[in-house]
């Protein structure tokens, strides 16, 4: 066998490995994008729920203006955030503000007994559970993608094709607050 055939065989194998790695990384990247879109849908529902919740609370606790303003400000900040890192930071602030808003119901028995408030708080609790599940799915997809670009033979081609590490949906320092909030009691 001549040297030319050996070189050609090595080139064919490298091209095959490059195409296989590229296709696998594209599939993993698409999965990460889909997982983030799922989170975005849940967050949009939460953003839509917040004004109704604030209006309901405002009727019973209008002098709690600081808390209500914090919720609206955090909601607006969360709606304008872009990318996983910025979105997760903004959503952490919104979760904290919503937790404080829900906690107001303890000080206002009429608010706590209001059927509209109970329904909104229940919807918020349900959305928080869905967001947590979507966040776990997203972080799992990011972990698989990041592992994929570091494993051989994809590691040889990932940088060449522009695949870089993706950020997790990190809860940061407020992890315990987000995982515990909001608690809804009837």
CA distance 41 to 152: 35
Could you report the per-residue pLDDT of 131-149, keeping only the tens digit for each?
A: 888 989 999 999 999 999 9
Task: Choose from 84-93, 142-151, 162-171 the range with maximum mean pLDDT.
Answer: 142-151
CB 19 within 8 A of CB 97: no
Compare 63 and 140 and report the one with higher pLDDT: 140
Pick the closest to residue 133 from 43, 31, 8, 1 (CA basis).
Answer: 43
CB 106 within 8 A of CB 130: no
What local confidence, expressed as pLDDT, does residue 144 receive? 94
Report CA-CA distances (Å) from 155 to 18, 26, 143, 147, 159.
10, 14, 15, 9, 7
Could you report the per-residue pLDDT of 148-161, keeping only the tens digit for each?
A: 999 888 888 888 88
Average pLDDT, the chain: 83
Least confident range of 5-14, 27-36, 102-111, 139-148: 102-111
CB 52 within 8 A of CB 95: no
Instruction: pLDDT band for 183, please (50, 70, 90 cuts).
Output: low
CA distance 12 to 9: 5
């Amino acid at each position: 066998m001549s040297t030319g055939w050996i070189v050609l065989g090595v080139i064919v194998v490298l091209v095959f490995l490059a195409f296989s790695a590229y296709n696998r990384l594209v599939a993993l990247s698409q999965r990460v994008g889909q997982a983030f879109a799922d989170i975005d849908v849940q967050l949009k529902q939460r953003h839509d729920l917040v004004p109704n919740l604030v209006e309901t609370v405002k009727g019973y606790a209008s002098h709690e203006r600081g808390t209500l303003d914090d919720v609206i400000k955090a909601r607006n900040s969360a709606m304008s955030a872009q990318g996983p890192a910025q979105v997760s930071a903004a959503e952490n602030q919104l979760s904290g503000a919503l937790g404080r808003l829900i906690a107001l119901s303890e000080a206002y028995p009429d608010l706590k007994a209001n059927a509209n408030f109970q329904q909104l708080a229940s919807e918020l609790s349900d959305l928080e559970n869905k967001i947590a599940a979507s966040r776990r799915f997203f972080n799992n997809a990011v972990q698989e993608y990041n592992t994929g670009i570091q494993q051989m033979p994809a590691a040889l081609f990932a940088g060449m094709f522009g695949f870089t590490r993706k950020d997790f949906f990190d809860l940061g320092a407020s992890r315990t607050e987000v995982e515990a909030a909001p608690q809804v009691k009837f």
